[in-house]
Structure 1
Amino acid sequence: MKISTKGRYGLTIMMELSTRFGEGPTSLKSIAEKHQLSEHYLEQLVAPLRNAGLVKSIRGAYGGYILSRSPEEITSGDVIRVLEGPISPVDFTEEDDPAKRDLWVRIRDSIAQVLDTTSLANLISFHDEGKNDNYMFYI
Structure 2
Amino acid sequence: MEISCKSEYAILALLELATHYQSGEPQQIRTIAAQQNIPDRYLEQLLATLRRGGIVKSQRGSKGGYILSREPWKITIFEVMGCLEGLDVRTCDEDVQPKTVDSGVIEEVWQEARQAANAVLQNYTLQDLREKRDARRQLDIMYYI
TM range, smaller chain: 0.7 to 0.9
Aligned counterpart for 2:130 among listed residues 103, 124, 134 = 124
Question: What TM-score do the two structures reach when normalised by structure 1?
Answer: 0.87
Structure 2's unaligned 5+ residue stretches are: 141-145
Structure 2 residue 16 is matched with structure 1 residue 13: no
TM-score by structure 2 length?
0.83
- Give structure 1 regions of 4+ aligned residues with deviation exceeding 3 angstroms: none
1:3 Cα deviation after fit: 1.7
> In structure 1, how many angstroms separate the alpha carbons of the residues matched to 2:54 and 2:97?
33
1:137 — aligned with what? Answer: none
Task: Report the more deviating stretch, 121-130 or 97-106.
Answer: 97-106
Alpha-carbon RMSD across the aligned residues, in angstroms, is 2.0
- CA separation in 1, counterparts of 2:19 and 2:118? 24
- Per the TM alignment, residue 30 of structure 1 is displaced from its structure 2 partner at its CA by 0.4
> How many residues end up aligned between the 2 structures?
132
**Larger proportion of helix:** 2
Structure 1 gap segments, 5+ residues each = 135-139
Offset of 1:36 from its aligned partner?
A: 2.1
Correspondences of 1:4-43 after superposition (within 5 Å): 4-23=4-23, 24-43=25-44
Question: AA paired with 2:41?
Answer: H
Equivalent AA in structure 2 for residue 53 of structure 1: G
